[in-house]
Structure 1
Amino acid sequence: MLSKPQWIENLSQQYSSFSLINFDVIKDNIADIDEAENANYIIHMASIASPSFYRQFPLETMEANTTGLKKIIEFYKDKPIKGLLMFSTSEIYGDPTPENIPTSEEYRGNVASIGPRACYDEAKRFAETLCYNYANAYNMPITLVRPFNNYGPGMSIYDKRVPADFAQAVIHKRAIEILSDGRPTRTFCYIADAIAGYLLALTYGKFDVFNIGYDGNEHSIIELAKQYVTIAKSCFNYDIEIKFEQPTDKEYLTDNPNRRCPIIRKARERLAYQPEITLEVGLEKYLTFLIEA
């Protein structure tokens, strides 16, 4: 499972102040990392996020989000850190009821505790509770973010989530395959907008939880596929077809949310978060990056 994008490798080669360490957040000792005690900001992102992959490693996924997170918080609970950012997920909402879409941070969720996606969803829910109680007990500046469908440069075309699958089809000049009826809807947040939100949350300095995503129009999976086809033709002169196929994985669609769209009012008001990049612009940027890389 260990892999590093080339751009991260390049950073470690170009900047002496940047160091990259392979670390098992479940088993390894944080104190063994040079300068760990002097950290000002800590970001916990140590979990597989793609369902196709985390379902292959359910126990490791749960451990990274619970045991691994607890080790980090324990290490820093008495240290004068400025911020600890824990990446939760919009998956903690499960499949929201229609009256709760768009979805605010106050929605408690409609989540399956048993099933192929539960190892990720329920581990993240427990992680939020863990952060909440440590923040209260030790006055720690822990902030939680719930990402909504990020995409863009840095997302591997082998990620196996929809934006990456469709991008891979364009790059390889083959048909886009939709493994559902194409009707589930999502909003999609370009990575530059998402990172701006995460950095604002990291420096917030106190406990809170924020939806981070794009709150514009929802797009169905078939609409998303058509966007890829249009951009492939207009920007790269590729003719790409769309096909409906049956997934070979029988649990591919089990507990898959039908809709996902955030309310980001709290992030706008408290973080001054302002996502701006539309899906059309973001997809063109993503595909251009991949083709020119």
Structure 2
Amino acid sequence: MKLSDNRIMQEDVERASGADFIEWDKLKGKTILVTGATGLIGGQVVMTLLNANAERSLGLKVIAAVRNKEKAEKLFKYADKSALEFLVQDVTSPYNYDGGIDFIIHGASITSSKAFVDTPVETIFTALDGTKNLLELAKAKQVEGMVYLSSLEVYGVVDLSMESVDEKTFGSIDPMSVRSSYSEGKRIVETLCTSYAHEYGVPVKVARLCQSMGAGVGYNDGRVFAQFARAIIEGTDIVLMTDGSTERNYCYISDAVTGILTVLLKGDTAQAYNIANKDTLISIRGMAEMLIENYPESGTKLVFNIVEDVTKLGYNPKVKMNLATDKAESLGWKAETGLKEMFDRLIESMKIDR
């Protein structure tokens, strides 16, 4: 079914909803609440569920929890309204919903690096209070499953010599750095999820996501991959304010969505799962150089304008973060989209929405 005017997004949704390794039959006749439903990942989770519902006759009901109904109506303008319901409220307020809920996917979060340093208190309490409200709802509704969308940032700064980082490997986070509002917030919320699982039997799992890109990324998005893509589109230079030595891996949006659904339906309660494409490890500088090489017609060049204190910009300390994905892959999931294709599709999608 048509869900987007953006050809790339439509293809991504169809790709994710066509994944045969997801146990779709477990969702037949179920009601699923998705928070952060107008965000990059939440929006495509909702669309994927709606498309799977239509293609597989699942009899699903999707509740999209949003703050801005007008934005939601625009994003989901083609959705089957008999299968979609909007729940308009802020995640930091307790949830009151009269009907039954079988599954919860909790993705509402502050995600702007600049906000982490400009509004760190709000960053912390959006994570903590918001998740507490969803866990209380899950407990009250006796849900069959819940997944909390966490981040690779819970790992902190790990030893740069480490080849990969599994779910039991942690580095340091400086609690006196205001930038830690996001990473420390994610850490305590993961512990809160585990606590609700052990004390109240809430079947909650954690999906630790790396940076995910694809259709739905706003043209003016401030994340580094979006800045690089925008430079290629506009033919401007890529300007790095660090030496670009930080290394991490990435995940395409449709792979992230199938990973989340796999963890929801197959993951073990009170367990965390890395969701990333393990073959995409690259430095920030290397990513810029790759794009410049792949898009020579843009005329884009790499320029350095290194600032003394990057933490004021919301940047992380230098890290090497190669997430191990064996645990998620043991559930039958695997990332399929490589880095070049990620950027090809991201750039094409951004051109469409420009």
| Worse overlay, 254-263 or 159-168 | 254-263
8 A Cα contact 2:216 2:349, kept in partner: no
Distance 1:78 1:3 in 2: 25
**CA displacement, residues 23-72 of structure 1 (integer Å, 9 cap, x when unaligned):** 2111x3310x5x5x412111221211231233222111111111111122
8 A Cα contact 2:250 2:280, kept in partner: no
Distance 1:123 1:4 in 2: 27
**In the alignment, does 2:148 pair up with 1:86?**
yes
CA gap 1:108/1:260 in 2 versus in 1, 3 angstroms = closer
**CA displacement, residues 75-134 of structure 1 (integer Å, 9 cap, x when unaligned):** 221423121111111101111113544101011331111213211111111001111011
Q: CA deviation at 1:21?
A: 4.0
Q: Which residue matches 2:137?
A: 75
Q: Which residue matches 1:18?
A: 84
Q: Select 2:277's aligned residue among 202, 205, 214.
A: 214
8 A Cα contact 1:103 1:263, kept in partner: yes
Distance 2:294 2:85 in 1: 37
One-letter amino acid matched to 2:279: G
**In the alignment, does 2:166 pair up with 1:166?**
no
| TM-score, with length taken from structure 2 | 0.74
One-letter amino acid matched to 2:282: H
Match runs of 1:43-82 below 5 Å: 43-82=105-144
Q: Which residue matches 1:243?
A: 303
Q: Which runs of 5+ in 1 are unaligned?
A: none
**CA displacement, residues 127-153 of structure 1 (integer Å, 9 cap, x when unaligned):** 011110110112211010111121111
CA gap 1:180/1:49 in 2 versus in 1, 3 angstroms = same
Q: CA deviation at 1:190?
A: 1.2
One-letter amino acid matched to 1:23: Q
CA gap 1:277/1:263 in 2 versus in 1, 3 angstroms = same
Match runs of 1:147-158 below 5 Å: 147-158=209-220
Distance 2:230 2:335 in 1: 25
Distance 1:282 1:108 in 2: 28
Q: CA deviation at 1:241?
A: 1.6
Aligned length: 285
CA gap 1:82/1:3 in 2 versus in 1, 3 angstroms = same
Distance 2:342 2:259 in 1: 16
8 A Cα contact 2:215 2:346, kept in partner: yes
Q: Which residue matches 1:9?
A: 74
Distance 1:51 1:124 in 2: 14
- Secondary structure in 2 matching 1:203: helix
8 A Cα contact 1:55 1:116, kept in partner: yes
Distance 2:78 2:345 in 1: 26
Identical pairs, percent: 26
Distance 1:56 1:228 in 2: 31
- Secondary structure in 1 matching 2:272: strand
Q: Select 1:133's aligned residue among 195, 212, 219.
A: 195
Q: Which residue matches 2:348?
A: 288
8 A Cα contact 2:148 2:204, kept in partner: yes
Distance 1:157 1:227 in 2: 20
Q: Which residue matches 2:256?
A: 194
- Secondary structure in 2 matching 1:38: coil
One-letter amino acid matched to 1:267: A
One-letter amino acid matched to 1:256: P
Q: Which residue matches 1:259?
A: 320
Match runs of 1:36-47 below 5 Å: 37-47=99-109
Q: Which residue matches 1:227?
A: 290
Distance 1:171 1:133 in 2: 46
Q: Which runs of 5+ in 2 are unaligned?
A: 1-66
**In the alignment, does 2:181 pair up with 1:116?**
no
CA gap 1:110/1:175 in 2 versus in 1, 3 angstroms = same
Q: CA deviation at 1:230?
A: 3.0
